[in-house]
Structure 1
Amino acid sequence: MTETPTRRGPWIVNASRQVYDNKWIQVSEHDVTNPGGKPGLYGVCHVKGLAVGVVPVDADGHVWLVGQHRFPGDYYSWELPEGGGDMAVAPIESARRELKEETGLTAAGWQELLRLDFSNAITDEIGIGFLAWDLTIGEPEPDDDESIEIRRLPFGEALDMAMDGGIRDAFSQLMLMKVDILGRRGMLPEPVARALGYMGKAIAARRGRR
């Protein structure tokens, strides 16, 4: 427990203590003076790993989803390939590993897609999403605690699932929507733009920048 007052922006942290710790997360409580000058209690969940996600796109314009039961919400979830990475490892290497483990896919083409914070009022978890293409199919290598179903479908159908609630996972929704936005703006890598039917927009965008 620490009791030396420190500042976090407009907050004053008067004391801090760790209340829970395991391999994946650490929960701390902070006695604070809030920006309005009143005393309060703030709980923070520190996530020890980096979240990585992948939008794998093949030459036919299809993507891969993985289905699994999510313990916290007790429901079955369709998502893009995602997982946790060691903070000491390059994010793209963790993304390569997760893609292979969950789908069996490897990719020759990679591009960072987005970076985001998850529930930043209560946790410091960070996510990095990648676009992957030029895919090679192999055998999945799931972890012992994973029971995963794999589904290949057209990108447009996956995007519809993100829009209508068929995909509830926020990370997956944002990655799919980002790909669509980049495609409409002519900003996707050429092989992906061609596969997903955005190639005309990419050509128009290049001409507009001349």
Structure 2
Amino acid sequence: MRLTQHDATAPTGMRNNYVVMRPQNLSVGVLPVHDDGSVTLVGQQRFGLMNYSWEMPEGGAPYDEDPIDGVKRELAEEAGLAASHWREALKIELSNSITDQRAMAWVAWGLSAMPIAPDPTEIIRVTRVPFGDLMREIARGSVRDMFTVATTLRAYHMAHQGELPPCLAKAMLASVR
């Protein structure tokens, strides 16, 4: 990433100094949903806030790479999964007051196991939980990764609105009370 500094005039006419953080990659993530409606999450230590975080598989895709290739790589590396079906869920700006960071997320299903190959700097734990448990952990504040929260809530909406296969949506929503 790099930081840029700008002497600018705000919409109010006041002069201000703006600093923008510019990541070198597009953020990509995927909520992997199994046929029974459960989801795979990965847990890892996050340096920025010095905390442990449960989240969907996510990472960065260079801007010159097709984002779907990047997210498929992250799913394999972090969760040891491949998916036969993908549906785009989100295109978002993560914190547009201080960064131009953009993100894309998908819901994936038709999952099969493959060898896990985490980045050498990561120690990743993998777990599978009912979709409703993930929703409840978000409500409790236990899952705080904004990318995971937004994608999970979007997947819930997609399941309700018929944007996912009916049998998958039914399995996901069965565990939500």
With structure 2 as the length reference, what TM-score do the two structures score?
A: 0.94
Aligned partner of 2:98 in structure 1 is: 122
Q: How does 1:6-17 map to 2 (within 5 A)?
A: none
Distance 1:49 1:176 in 2: 22
Task: Say if 2:16 is the partner of 1:69.
Answer: no
* One-letter amino acid of the counterpart of residue 35, structure 2: A
Match of 1:107 among 65, 79, 83: 83
CA distance in 2, matches of 1:37, 1:155: 48
Q: Does the 8 Å contact 2:36/2:168 carry over to 1?
A: no
Q: Which residue in the other structure is 2:9 paired with?
A: 33
Give the aligned CA root-mean-square deviation in angstroms: 1.2
Name the CA shift for 1:197/1:72 in 2 (closer, same or farther; >3 Å).
closer
Instruction: Look up the match of 2:68.
Output: 92
Question: Mean Cα displacement is larger for which, 151-160 or 30-39?
Answer: 30-39
SS at match of 1:130: strand
Q: Could you tell me whether the CA contact under 8 Å between 2:137 and 2:143 is conserved in 1?
A: yes
1:3-41 deviations in Å (ceiling 9; x for gaps): xxxxxxxxxxxxxxxxxxxxxx01011111222222210
CA spacing shift, 1:57–1:91, aligned 2, 3 Å: same
How many residue pairs end up in the alignment? 174
- Aligned position for 1:162: 138
- 1:55 corresponds, among 18, 31, 35, to 31
Partners of 2:53 and 2:19 in 1: CA distance: 28
Secondary structure class of the residue paired with 1:99: helix
1:177 and 1:121 mapped to 2: Cα distance? 23
Mapped contact 2:53–2:144 kept (Cα < 8 A): yes
Q: Counterparts of 2:18 and 2:8 in 1: how far apart (Å)?
A: 7
Question: Aligned equivalents of 1:39 and 1:62: distance in 2?
Answer: 51
Q: SS of the residue aligned with 2:133?
A: helix
Corresponding residue number in structure 1 for 2:123? 147
The structure-2 alpha-carbon separation of the partners of 1:197 and 1:35, relative to structure 1 and needing over 3 Å to count, comes to: closer
Q: Distance in 2 between matches of 1:49 and 1:55?
A: 19
4+ residue stretches of structure 1 with deviation over 2 A?
189-192
The one-letter amino acid of 2:119's match is D
- 1:194 Cα deviation from its structure 2 partner: 4.0
- Is the Cα contact below 8 Å between 2:160 and 2:169 reproduced in 1? no
Among 159, 163, 168, the alignment partner of 1:183 is 159
Q: Conserved in 2, the CA contact under 8 Å of 1:102 and 1:140?
A: yes
Post-superposition offset of 1:138: 2.1
- Offset from partner CA, 1:45-97 (integer Å, 9 cap, x none): 11110000101011111101111111010111110110000111111111100
Which consecutive unaligned segments of at least 5 residues does structure 1 have? 1-24, 199-210
Identity %: 39
Aligned: 1:136 with 2:99: no
Alpha-carbon offset, residue 121 of structure 1 = 0.5
- The answer to whether the Cα contact below 8 Å between 2:42 and 2:127 also exists between their aligned partners in 1 is yes
Contact 2:5 2:17 in 1 (8 A): yes
- Contiguous gaps of at least 5 residues in structure 2: none
Deviation at 1:191, TM superposition (A): 4.5
Higher relative contact order (CA 8 A, sep 6+): 2
